Every structure is written in C-alpha cells, then in structure tokens.
Amino acid sequence: MKILVVDDEVEVVDFLCNFIKRLGLDAEKATSGTEAIETFSRFRPDWVFLDVKMPDIDGLEVLKRMKEIDAGIKSIMITGKSDEMSVNDALNLGARDYLIKPIDLDELRTKIQTYILSEK
C-alpha cells in the first residue's frame, strides 16, 4: 500500500511519513501542490493525505488534478482548523475523511486502520 503525504509544513510531512512507515506502509512526501502532482504521477499512490491550505496550489485543486490522472484515488484531507466549507468541498470531490491539525495520534491510527489497513 503506497501513500503520498502532502503538506507545506515539513515537520508535519516528516512526522506523518515516519508514522505511516512504522505501520509497514510505503510513504512518499511532497511539500507543495506542484510537487504533489509530480510525485503523484511518478509514485502512483493508493492513498493521499493532502493538506487543504498550501501556498502554491491549494489541496482542493491538487485533488481535482490528481483525479484527472487517476479517478479512483482515495484521499484524507488535512486542515489547520475546522474549515467546514473546505472540508465539505473536499468530501464532495470524493475525499474519504479529514484530519484537523494538530493531528491526534489515536485519531490518525484509527483512520489508517479503518480506511487503509482494512484494504491490505
């Protein structure tokens, strides 16, 4: 199972990738929307953890572009605050769920078990 983690905060990306790898999953990272689309095309992940707010291309636009490459991509959005409009837009685009920063480890583990490890 391959997961792409996208967030403009390097600490968040590194933390999530390390956590995911400790669960035995393959993880790649990107720290911008542009890098995310390039990495997505090369890496072809099964899942994407995708930050909503990024400086170059926001997560909603990145998700739209990823869906043009692979309509079946599954995603969990990450947001810095409970931004209901963005979360609802992401869910309407097909995102499965979302996480709110600061990320709670128990919630992260539960979502990975519920959505990702159940597919293995």
Domain ranges of the chain: 2-119
- Beta-bridged to residue 28, according to DSSP, are 4
Q: What is the CB neighbour count within 10 angstroms for residue 44?
A: 12
CATH number of 2-119: 3.40.50.300, 3.30.930.10, 1.20.120.430, 3.40.50.2300?
A: 3.40.50.2300
According to DSSP, the β-strands at 47-51 and 2-6 are parallel
pLDDT digits (tens, 9 = 90+) for 19-72: 999 999 999 999 999 999 999 999 999 999 999 999 999 999 999 999 999 999
| The two three-digit tokens of residue 57, written as one number | 């291309």
| The two three-digit tokens of residue 114, written as one number | 């519920």
Q: By three-state DSSP, how is residue 36 classified?
A: helix
Interacting residues of 113 by C-beta distance below 8 A, sequence separation 6+: none
pTM for this model (two decimals) = 0.94
